[in-house]
Amino acid sequence: MRELSVFVLRPILVLLFLGGLLVQLAVIPQTATELAVALPGFASLATPYAIAAILVILCLQVALAATWRLLSKVRDDEIFSGQTKPWVDAIITSVAVGTLLVVAVVVHLAGVMQLGPPALILLLTVLAIEGAAFVLLMIVMRSLLHNATIIQAELALLT
User: What tens digit of pLDDT does each residue of 64-81 get?
Assistant: 999 999 999 999 888 888
What single letter denotes the amino acid at residue 78?
Answer: E
User: pLDDT at residue 54 above 90?
Assistant: yes
Q: What is the pLDDT of residues 8-27, one digit of tens each?
A: 999 999 999 999 999 999 99
Query: Across 30-101, where does the E strand assignment appear?
Result: none
Q: Please say if the pLDDT value at position 4 is more than 70.
A: yes
- pTM, two decimal places: 0.91
For residue 158, pLDDT over 90 is answered with no
> How high is the pLDDT of residue 27?
97
Per-residue pLDDT at 1 exceeds 70: no
Cβ(142)–Cβ(88) under 8 Å? yes
Mean pLDDT of 26-40: 93
Taking the C-alpha atoms of residue 121 and residue 17, their distance in angstroms, rounded to an integer, is 26
pLDDT value of position 153: 87
Q: What per-residue confidence (pLDDT) applies to 142?
A: 95
Give the closest residue to 109 by CA, choosing from 121, 127, 125: 121
